[in-house]
A and B are shown apart, each in its own frame.
Chain A
């Protein structure tokens, strides 16, 4: 069981900044995120795109903002449960919560802060009638262990970086790799496109474009697929089919936690961004209130106010007053201390 003061669901910019603000109040944080790396949309959707409205940064790449936020909070030693989706929440008698992920990891905390953005990112499944029946039986949307594909025939579909990168990677592992895409053009890093072109010439990747996988066949497991090329159908035998059509956010299981939800967002009290469940807060893009703006800078503000309220819940009656980091410095949980250099007083004789 992982124990912490504030359990943050979602490791996007708002969740990451919460670590810093909580740390100033000597509260420890642990973050859960469905993605394999922190940063949320900033690292998953647009790491190389600039953001122009972070105060004090005329321009910063989304990936660099993530890096900076991790650096800013690192002395408060946040814990991470990555690649797992927060599935259920149970309230204990003492008012604290147990949050369990889809992989069964349990987290115990007196405060839960949902900073889930638009939801957890889930693979976009192609619309092929019987695809569900072959899931984990030849069809996978995420590659967890490449060894599964050793000496097997693999068909990958998609036109982005992940389709290209996995085709390249699996070319050395699988007995046969076929990449199918609806267009002749790929949207991916130039060197990946070049590499796939090279592998095609070496007959290590079989490229079929413009084409689409339109049917799956097999008795107990996937045995073949139908590829439609220019209206002509062709059956191709394969052991695995991996459609890589990107990820789309879904509010997911949080929608069933008994929270007040309006248009896919969680309603909060703007006093401290607490939800209708005392002790559960919602901050950043995931919440809604009158006048809400889905901006990273608004998420930072909400995280800061929320932490003050969390402190009062965790430390009832214990007085505290807002301090300024420039004056007080920062004491990390790792024993580090950051502080402004002391003024040197010298007399002039």
Chain B
């Protein structure tokens, strides 16, 4: 298992290049927190708050949204076609090169 590289654009437009381990069962929300990026993760990763909403900027293949994520995004604000909940995307080698942008806080 190797580390992967991600690019995360924060709400000020600054791009952070981060290295994420693939063997610690982490997700995008947790990686943001681990790098002290301004992601609250209020519900702890249960797809129940949308505070980790992000926009997918790259053409990376991602796992499909599950029911919980779909439902939460349907109630969230600032939702775009490329919106995802960071907490529902597990860090895997497939995600190498992924680029995301943090959605506005609400």
Are the CB atoms of A118 and B75 closer together than 8 Å? no
User: In chain A between 143 and 185, which residues have their CB closer than 8 angstroms to a CB of chain B?
Assistant: 158-160, 181-183, 185
Please, which residues of chain A bring their CB within 8 A of the CB of B43? Answer: 41, 45-46
Choose among B71, B77, B106 the residue that contacts A159 (Cβ–Cβ < 8 A).
B71
Please, which residues of chain B bring their CB within 8 A of the CB of A126? Answer: 77
CB contact under 8 A between A185 and B106, given known A46-B46, A127-B77: no
Q: What CA separation (Å) do A45 and B67 show in the bound complex?
A: 17
Q: What CA separation (Å) do A187 and B77 show in the bound complex?
A: 17
Are the CB atoms of B42 and A248 closer together than 8 Å? yes
Please, which residues of chain B bring their CB within 8 A of the CB of A248? Answer: 42, 49, 51, 106
Please, which residues of chain A bring their CB within 8 A of the CB of B49? Answer: 45, 246, 248
A124 interface contact, C-beta 8 A: yes
- Inter-chain contact total with CB atoms closer than 8 Å: 42
User: In chain B between 25 and 66, which residues have their CB closer than 8 angstroms to a CB of chain A?
Assistant: 40, 42-43, 46, 48-49, 51
CB distance from B85 to the nearest CB of A (A): 14
CB distance from B93 to the nearest CB of A (A): 27
Choose among B42, B77, B106 the residue that contacts A118 (Cβ–Cβ < 8 A).
B42
Q: What CA separation (Å) do A125 and B42 show in the bound complex?
A: 17
A26 interface contact, C-beta 8 A: no
Choose among A41, A246, A249 the residue that contacts B75 (Cβ–Cβ < 8 A).
A246
CB distance from A209 to the nearest CB of B (A): 10
Please, which residues of chain A bring their CB within 8 A of the CB of B82? Answer: none
Specify which of B42, B75, B106 lies most central, judged by the most chain A CB atoms within 10 Å of its CB.
B75
Are the CB atoms of A183 and B74 closer together than 8 Å? yes
Please, which residues of chain B bring their CB within 8 A of the CB of A249? Answer: 42
Determine the residue in chain B with the shortest Cβ distance to A46: B46
Q: What CA separation (Å) do A127 and B74 show in the bound complex?
A: 14
A333 interface contact, C-beta 8 A: no
Are the CB atoms of B71 and A187 closer together than 8 Å? yes
A195 interface contact, C-beta 8 A: no
Q: What CA separation (Å) do A166 and B88 show in the bound complex?
A: 30
Please, which residues of chain A bring their CB within 8 A of the CB of B51? Answer: 248
Are the CB atoms of B46 and A182 closer together than 8 Å? no
Please, which residues of chain A bring their CB within 8 A of the CB of B77? Answer: 124, 126-127
Determine the residue in chain A with the shortest Cβ distance to B49: A248
Please, which residues of chain A bring their CB within 8 A of the CB of B42? Answer: 118, 248-249
Q: What CA separation (Å) do A62 and B3 show in the bound complex?
A: 34
Query: Per-position contact with B for A237-273: 1 when CB-CB < 8 Å, else 0?
Result: 0000000011011000000000000001000000000
A292 interface contact, C-beta 8 A: no
Please, which residues of chain A bring their CB within 8 A of the CB of B74? Answer: 159, 181-183, 185
CB contact under 8 A between A183 and B48, given known A118-B42, A124-B106: no
Determine the residue in chain B with the shortest Cβ distance to A183: B74
10 A-B pairs closest in CB distance:
A187-B71, A183-B74, A182-B74, A245-B75, A45-B43, A127-B77, A45-B48, A159-B75, A118-B42, A159-B74
Interface residues of B (CB under 8 A from A): 40, 42-43, 46, 48-49, 51, 67-68, 70-72, 74-75, 77, 106
A selection of 13 A-B contacts at a CB cut-off of 8 Å is A46-B43, A46-B46, A118-B42, A124-B77, A124-B106, A126-B77, A158-B75, A181-B74, A182-B75, A183-B74, A248-B49, A248-B51, A249-B42
